[in-house]
Every structure is written in C-alpha cells, then in structure tokens.
C-alpha cells in the first residue's frame, strides 16, 4: 500500500477537495482507503457514501484494521480526534502501525490532514510515502512553505526514516481571472519553481458542488465540470505515475 498525505497547515486551501477527488479517482483502479484526520469532518460528509464503522480516532489507540467495504473505504472523523492532541506522542507511531496493518487490504491510502502541525499531521507524515501540499495563491507566504518542508523533514529525521517523496506545492483554488493571483503565481514560480507541482487546480464552482453533492466533477454535466475533470484527473495521473501506482 502506498500512502499519499495531503497537507498544509493552512485551512481553506483545497486539501479536502483534493482528497475526496483522489479517493474517487484511485478507487477506479485500486483498492483505496481514505483517512479523515480533520475533526471538522468535511471529508467524511462528502464521502459519506463510503464510510467505515471504524473511526479515525481508533487508529491512534492501537493498530487497527479497516475492513474494506468496496473499492473505496473511508474512516470517519469525530470530535474525539482532538483527544490525540494531548501530550502523549506514542499515538503517532500507533497511527503509522495502523496504516501498516492495512497494507495487504489496500493498494492506496489517501490521508486528509487538519490545518495544524500537531500529532495527527505528524502521524500522517510518519506513514507517508508521498506528500502533496495544496496552497492558496492569495495568501502565499514563503514562511509558511518553509515551515511545511521543515515539518516533513523533521518527522523523518526524528523517527529515523527516509523522507517521503515530496510531490510539490499545488495551487488549488487558483483564480486565473484575477490579475493579482496571476502575478503572485508568477512570483511563486520564480522563487520556488522547483517546489511547484506540474499542474494547478483552478477556482471553479464545480468543485464546491462536488463537495456538497458527494460526487466527483467527472460525474457532472456542463462545460465547467468537464474542464475541472480534465484538470484534476491530469493532476492525479501525474501523482499516480510519480508514486509508481500504475494505471
Ligand atoms: N478549486 C476550487 N474551486 C472552488 N472552490 C473550491 C476549490 N477547492 C475547494 N473549494 C471550496 O473551498 C472551500 C475550502 O476547500 P477545502 O477543500 O475544504 O479546503 P481545506 O481542506 O484546505 O480547508 C470548500 O468550500 C470547497 O468546496
Ligand atoms: Mg479540509
């Protein structure tokens, strides 16, 4: 099983949108597990049709298996997740061991993280084979990005494991119609070009609709949804390739 972690300590940058679509996408060809680590549970709502009775918080208590329900299985977020943010850091390794315990039942695991660098995010990073970081162009800050890269490195160093593959910064609600965003994007490409994922996800109504309707943009009608589908499937095609997932 290959684990992809979608992280950024900022909220509202499009993490959950990407994880939901990644789940739908990978489940077309792979046995897919999706883990909702954010107590706000937006992902558990959008992917409500695929919820396991196993709660994500269980994965921090002891190594826990999540029996597959079909090609897509989601562990649900609950407010109890906040409880793992106490002082005991042992739960970080328990979470990693839980994902390991599911290695034979799934081909891919996608993890949605809360907007904070806390035990849950560290657990995800410890279990990660690859990490992608959705970013907003509006509130782009070099400082935030440096912090994020430090966290990825720091967790690996602390636990003595190889660093996960960093797939890049992915502008995820990019408003091409905004001159300011276009300018900021060019600045970003100039300053951190090597860190950028080769692709963007534009700001489109279809994504917001996908979140509330619980279906991917490629199931929707209309030219906006079609463009969104081409764009986001292209992103996951690249992710698959770089993670060695095959078709
Ligand atoms: N590309 C996009 N275009 C338009 N709306 C988007 C896009 N990506 C996400 N959204 C919407 O923006 C809000 C925040 O996105 P979300 O994925 O929940 O971010 P995060 O998980 O980083 O907090 C949600 O209402 C979501 O539906
Ligand atoms: Mg989210």
- Testing ligand 1's pocket by substitution, the residue of 137, 205, 211 carrying the most ligand atoms inside 8 A of its CB is 211
pLDDT at 141: 63
Tell me the backbone φ, ψ of residue 105, rounded to 5 degrees. -90, -15
Res 86: pLDDT: 83
pLDDT in tens, 136-190: 987 656 668 888 999 999 999 999 999 999 999 999 999 999 999 999 999 989 9
Residues framing ligand 1 (Cβ under 6 A): 11-17, 42, 172-173, 201, 203-204, 207-208, 211
Residue 110 has pLDDT above 90, yes or no: yes
Under a CB-based contact definition with an 8 Å cutoff, are residues 7 and 121 in contact?
yes
Question: Which pLDDT score is estimated for 36?
Answer: 98
pTM over 0.85: yes
Do 168 and 133 contact (CB within 8 A), yes or no?
Answer: yes
Q: What is the pLDDT of residue 107?
A: 98
What is the per-residue pLDDT across 56-96, written as a single tens digit (0 to 9) for each? 999 999 999 999 999 999 999 999 999 999 878 999 999 99
pLDDT at residue 142, as a whole number: 63
Position 88 scores a pLDDT of 85
Q: Cα separation of 57 and 239, whole Å?
A: 27
Note the pLDDT of residue 247. 63
Express as a percent the part of the chain with pLDDT over 90.
Answer: 89
* Tens-place pLDDT, residues 1-60: 999 999 998 899 999 999 999 999 999 999 999 999 999 999 999 999 999 999 999 999
Count the neighbouring beta carbons within 10 Å of the beta carbon of residue 46: 25
Of the listed ligands, the closest to the CA of 36 is 2
- Going by alpha carbons, the residue nearest to atom 25 of ligand 1 is 208
What is the tens place of the pLDDT at every residue in 192-201?
889 999 999 9
CA of 115 to the centre of ligand 2 (A): 7
Instruction: Give the rounded percent of residues in the chain with a pLDDT score beyond 70.
Output: 98
Average pLDDT over residues 100-128: 97
Task: Find the mean pLDDT for residues 224-231.
Answer: 98
Q: Output the pLDDT for position 146.
A: 87
Supply the CATH classification number for the domain 2-243. 3.40.50.300
């Amino acid at each position: 099983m290959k684990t992809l972690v979608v992280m950024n300590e900022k909220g509202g940058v499009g993490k959950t949108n990407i994880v939901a679509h990644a789940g739908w996408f990978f489940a077309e060809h792979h046995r897919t597990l999706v883990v909702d680590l954010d107590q706000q549970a937006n992902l558990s709502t959008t992917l409500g049709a695929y919820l396991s009775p196993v709660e994500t918080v269980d994965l921090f208590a002891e190594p826990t298996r999540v029996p597959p329900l079909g090609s897509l299985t989601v562990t649900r977020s609950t407010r109890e997740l906040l409880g793992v943010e106490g002082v005991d850091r042992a739960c970080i390794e328990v979470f990693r061991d839980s994902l390991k315990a599911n290695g034979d039942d799934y081909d891919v695991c996608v993890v949605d993280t809360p907007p904070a660098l806390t035990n849950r995010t560290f657990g995800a990073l410890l279990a990660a084979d690859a990490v992608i970081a959705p970013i907003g162009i509006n509130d782009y800050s070099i400082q935030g990005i440096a912090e994020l890269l430090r966290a990825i490195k720091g967790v690996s160093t602390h636990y003595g494991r190889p660093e996960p593959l960093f797939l890049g910064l992915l502008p995820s609600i990019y408003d091409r119609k905004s001159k300011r965003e276009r300018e900021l994007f060019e600045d970003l490409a100039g300053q951190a070009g090597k860190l950028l994922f080769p692709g963007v996800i534009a700001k489109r109504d279809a994504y917001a609709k996908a979140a509330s309707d619980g279906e991917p943009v490629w199931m929707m009608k209309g030219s906006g949804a079609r463009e969104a589908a081409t764009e986001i499937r292209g992103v996951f095609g690249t992710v698959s390739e770089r993670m060695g997932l095959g078709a």
